[in-house]
């Protein structure tokens, strides 16, 4: 479903972030992308969400060549790829409900649709009881679950998690991992970018290891090898 | 579509109030620009009215010798009325002329005595000729230079107010130039402040903008609230300009009338009658100016 073919990304003047990356990710897979800092993991995600364009190579999602994507098509792409980050990127002045609803509001959804879908998604992530709280009134793990709820609101085919447990303790990390697995079970392709050795090893799913911008290992049921 | 439009207005109005001081600065400069423009409109109206009133006083009076037949003068009146430059010709009979003359000099004993001594009406009839345009008077005067009228015309008088009109025009032109300069300066300042306001708004909303882009908001939806804020600035600027303009006119009108030599003005009436035209165009102008400014700032600072 997702294919990176001969991807090279060079930031000016001559910083090589990725080179010769060939990667195929099937629909419904759960793939962990691991590697040390500066090995190109985040760049790979940015290429997938069209935040950056590759210097060379081709990225396709299904039949869609996103290396040639027009600016006007980028929002459509981003509604099909949910993204969560280490720092959650929640709006502090909005409640949990409003944070999730915001993703629908800015895409033109009706009030009725928002009132129907948001509680459903909050129930999936286990936060329906805390919908009226503000982000700072809940734990880090719960904040990440709000971010996951927001990422799921458009029912994306792909969920990208960029270091989602970087700011969390081990209990919350486990909870988020379980949630990601649950989402994957529903058929969503999950790409997990992580430094967390224990987490990656416990998942017992495919692991792709990057080093200096190239794929050095790709194991079906892999471990954090670095 | 309506939901999107409603939200754009909502986000835009939130920006408007959240950045209160930046908004205030932008609106104040826009108000100053519009007030300068209203000053120009006022000046234009006053000049036109004053000049029209002075021009209305210009006429040519042709005094006929006593005894000239009324029918002959009637023929001349008809001929004058057939000329394209002539607006109106008023016939003043010898009796009316004497009555006016007597009334005008009723306190002058010498003139009164002289008239009594003469016994009969010493005055002839008069034709008062008004032209459509002051430039037509030389042509009208030429008519009476014809030899056939030499024996029947006693005197012609033409009081030219050209010097006064030139003076009014000169003062008005200088004031207009200054007004244009001030309005232009304020417009430039308005663009700079508006640009900076949008830049600051983008900066303060960087988190929300980032989330919007992350969750797939359309590019136009991310940009639109910043452009819509231009409409809000326009509404408030025109509203406050109206609030300032009418009391200012009410206050200044008597002084302006005095300045223009006691001419009669109805400046308030002029602004009231042309309210939609004046303030409607100002609103359109300010909104366009703001949209252009916002577009420049959004293009420069908001990468979608």
Given the candidates 3.30.70.3040, 3.50.50.60, 3.40.50.11540, 3.60.20.10, the CATH classification of the domain at B59-159 is: 3.30.70.3040
Quick one: pLDDT at residue B260?
Answer: 65
pLDDT at B262 over 80: no
- Put simply, the answer to whether B215 touches A154 (Cβ < 8 Å) is yes
Quick one: pLDDT at residue A57?
Answer: 96
Quick one: pLDDT at residue B261?
Answer: 63
Q: What was the ipTM of the complex prediction?
A: 0.84
Residue A70 vs residue B47, higher pLDDT: A70
Q: Report the residue from B1, B208, B219 with minimal CB separation from A75.
A: B219
pLDDT per position as a tens digit, B92-142: 988 888 888 888 888 888 888 887 787 788 888 898 988 887 778 778 888
Query: Exposed (0-12), middle (13-18) or buried (19+): which is A187, by Cβ within 10 Å?
Result: exposed
Nearest 10 degrees: CA dihedral of B128, B131, B132, B138?
-170
Chain B interface includes A77 (CB < 8 A): yes
Average of per-residue pLDDT values in chain B:
84
Residue B3 vs residue B250, higher pLDDT: B250
- Put simply, the answer to whether B218 touches A75 (Cβ < 8 Å) is yes
Which residues of chain A have a pLDDT value below 50? none
Q: Which residue, among A184, A216, A188, has the nearest Cα to A203 in the 3D structure?
A: A184
CATH dotted code for A2-219: 3.40.50.300
Sheet containing strand A206-211, strands side by side:
A81-85, A158-162, A189-194, A30-34, A206-211, A214-219
Residues B152, A29: Cα–Cα separation, whole Å: 117
Nearest-neighbour CA in chain B from A25: distance (Å): 22
CB B215 within 8 A of CB A106: yes
Quick one: pLDDT at residue A95?
Answer: 95
**C-alpha separations of A65 from A22, A47, A77, A81, B177 in Å:** 15, 12, 11, 15, 60
pLDDT at B218 over 70: yes
Quick one: pLDDT at residue B56?
Answer: 76
**What is the DSSP secondary structure assignment for residue A138, as one 8-state letter?**
S
Q: Of B149-163, B173-187, B213-227, give the lowest mean pLDDT range.
A: B149-163
Token look-up 């290992």 returns: A217
Confidence of residue B265 (pLDDT cuts 50, 70, 90): confident
Quick one: pLDDT at residue B162?
Answer: 64
Q: Report the residue from B3, B214, B221 with minimal CB separation from A78.
A: B214
pLDDT at B304 over 60: no
Q: Of A92-101, B72-81, B142-151, give the lowest mean pLDDT range.
A: B142-151
Confidence of residue B274 (pLDDT cuts 50, 70, 90): very high
Nearest-neighbour CA in chain A from B208: distance (Å): 7
- Domain limits of chain B? 2-54+164-301, 59-159
């Amino acid at each position: 479903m997702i294919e990176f073919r001969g991807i090279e990304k060079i930031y000016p003047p001559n910083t090589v972030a990725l080179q010769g990356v060939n990667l195929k990710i099937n629909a419904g897979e759960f793939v962990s992308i691991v590697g040390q800092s500066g090995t190109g993991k985040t760049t790979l995600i940015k290429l997938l969400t069209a935040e950056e364009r590759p210097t060379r190579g081709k990225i396709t999602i299904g039949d869609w060549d996103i290396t040639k994507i027009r600016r006007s098509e980028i929002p459509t792409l981003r509604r099909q790829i949910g993204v969560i980050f280490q720092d959650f990127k929640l709006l502090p002045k909005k409640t949990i409900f409003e944070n999730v609803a915001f993703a629908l509001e800015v895409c033109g959804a009706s009030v009725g649709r928002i009132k129907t879908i948001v509680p459903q998604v909050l129930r999936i992530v286990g936060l329906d009881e805390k919908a009226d709280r503000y982000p700072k009134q809940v734990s880090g793990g719960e904040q990440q679950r709000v971010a996951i709820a927001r990422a799921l609101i458009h029912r994306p085919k792909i969920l990208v998690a960029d270091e989602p447990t970087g700011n969390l303790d081990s209990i919350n990390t486990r909870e988020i991992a379980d949630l990601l697995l649950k989402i994957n079970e529903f058929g969503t392709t999950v790409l997990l970018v992580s430094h967390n050795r224990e987490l990656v090893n416990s998942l017992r799913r495919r692991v792709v290891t990057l080093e200096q911008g190239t794929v050095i290992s790709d194991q079906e049921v892999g471990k954090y090898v670095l | 579509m309506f939901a999107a439009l409603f939200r754009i207005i909502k986000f835009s109005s939130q920006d408007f109030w959240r950045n209160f001081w930046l908004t205030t600065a932008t609106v104040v400069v826009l108000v100053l620009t519009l007030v300068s423009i209203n000053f120009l409109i006022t000046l234009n109206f006053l000049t036109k009215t004053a000049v029209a009133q002075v021009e209305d006083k210009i006429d040519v009076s042709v005094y006929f010798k006593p005894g000239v037949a009324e029918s002959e003068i009637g023929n001349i009146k008809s001929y004058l009325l057939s000329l394209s430059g002539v607006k109106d010709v008023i016939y003043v009979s010898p009796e009316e002329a004497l009555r006016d003359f007597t009334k005008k000099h009723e306190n002058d004993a010498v003139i009164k005595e002289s008239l009594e001594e003469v016994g009969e009406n010493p005055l002839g009839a008069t034709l008062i000729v008004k032209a459509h345009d002051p430039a037509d008077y030389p042509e009208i005067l030429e008519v009476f230079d014809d030899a056939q009228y030499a024996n029947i015309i006693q005197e012609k008088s033409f009081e030219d107010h050209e010097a006064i009109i030139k003076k009014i025009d000169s003062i008005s032109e200088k004031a207009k130039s200054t007004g244009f300069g001030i309005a232009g300066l304020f417009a430039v300042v308005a663009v700079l402040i508006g640009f900076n306001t949008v830049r600051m708004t983008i900066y303060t909303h960087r988190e929300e903008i980032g989330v919007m882009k992350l969750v797939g908001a359309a590019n136009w939806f991310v940009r639109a609230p910043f452009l819509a804020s231009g409409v809000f600035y326009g509404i408030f600027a025109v509203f406050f300009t109206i609030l300032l303009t009418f009391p200012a006119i009410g206050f200044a009108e008597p002084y302006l009338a005095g300045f223009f030599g006691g001419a009669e003005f109805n400046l308030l009436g002029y602004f009231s009658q042309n309210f939609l035209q004046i303030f409607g165009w100002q609103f359109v102008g300010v909104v366009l100016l703001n949209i252009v400014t916002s577009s420049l700032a959004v293009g420069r600072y908001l990468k979608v």
